[in-house]
C-alpha cells in the first residue's frame, strides 16, 4: 500500500474511533491535556465546569496526535478545542459551555442540579496555565 493510501486508511479508522467515542459516551470532552493536567486554560475551565456539575465524563487528549483534532473538526464542523459533546451532539467550546453553565442550562441538559458555588478553577488570565506549545 502506498504511504498516501495508508494515511487515508489510518485517518478513516481514526475518524471512526472518534465517532464511536462520541456515540458511546453520554458526555465526552475533547481537550488539550487531561482533566488531571489540562494543557490550556480553555480546556481547564471546561473541565472545572463539568466537575462542578459532578457529571462523569469521558475525556480525549487531542495533543496525543494532531490528526485527532483534524478529523474531529471535520466531523463537528468546529475549529477549536475544547469540544464538548452530550448524547452525540456538539454543545460547543469553552465559551458556550460557560454561558450554558452560568444560565443553569448545562445542568438541565446533563440532568444534574445546578451547584450553588462557582467552579474551583476560575483563571482570570490564561497565560499562567496556557501551554503555548500546544
Residues in contact with other proteins by CB under 8 A are 42, 69, 77-81, 90-96, 99, 125-127
- Please report how close the Cβ of residue 117 comes to other proteins at its closest, in angstroms: 24
CA nearest neighbour of 132 among 39, 69, 38, 70: 39
In terms of residues, how long is the chain?
134
Q: Give the single-character DSSP code of 53.
A: H
Instruction: Select 116 or 132, whichever has its Cβ closest to other proteins.
Output: 132
Name which of 13 and 99 has its Cβ closer to other proteins: 99
* Shortest separation between residue 112's beta carbon and other proteins, angstroms: 21
Q: Which residues contact 127 (CB under 8 A, 6 or more apart)?
A: none
Strand partners, 59: 29
With vertex at residue 33, the alpha carbon angle to CA 27 and CA 38, rounded to the nearest 5 degrees, is 90
Nearer to other proteins, 30 or 42 (CB): 42
- Give the helix/strand (H/E) hosting 17: helix 3-24
Please state the closest distance from residue 1 (CB atom) to other proteins, in A: 29
Between residues 53 and 62, which has the closer beta carbon with respect to other proteins?
62
CB of 2 to other proteins, least distance (A): 26
Amino acid at each position: 500500500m502506498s504511504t498516501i493510501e495508508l494515511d487515508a486508511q489510518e485517518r478513516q479508522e481514526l475518524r471512526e474511533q472518534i465517532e464511536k467515542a462520541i456515540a458511546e459516551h453520554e458526555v465526552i470532552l475533547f481537550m488539550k491535556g487531561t482533566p488531571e493536567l489540562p494543557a490550556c486554560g480553555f480546556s481547564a475551565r471546561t473541565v472545572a465546569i463539568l466537575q462542578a456539575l459532578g457529571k462523569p465524563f469521558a475525556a480525549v487528549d487531542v495533543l496525543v496526535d494532531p490528526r485527532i483534532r483534524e478529523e474531529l473538526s471535520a466531523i463537528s464542523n468546529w475549529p477549536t478545542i475544547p469540544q464538548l459533546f452530550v448524547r452525540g451532539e456538539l454543545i460547543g467550546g469553552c465559551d458556550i459551555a460557560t454561558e450554558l453553565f452560568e444560565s443553569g442550562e448545562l445542568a438541565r441538559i446533563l440532568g444534574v442540579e445546578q451547584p450553588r458555588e462557582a467552579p474551583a478553577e476560575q483563571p482570570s488570565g490564561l497565560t499562567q496555565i496556557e501551554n503555548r506549545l500546544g
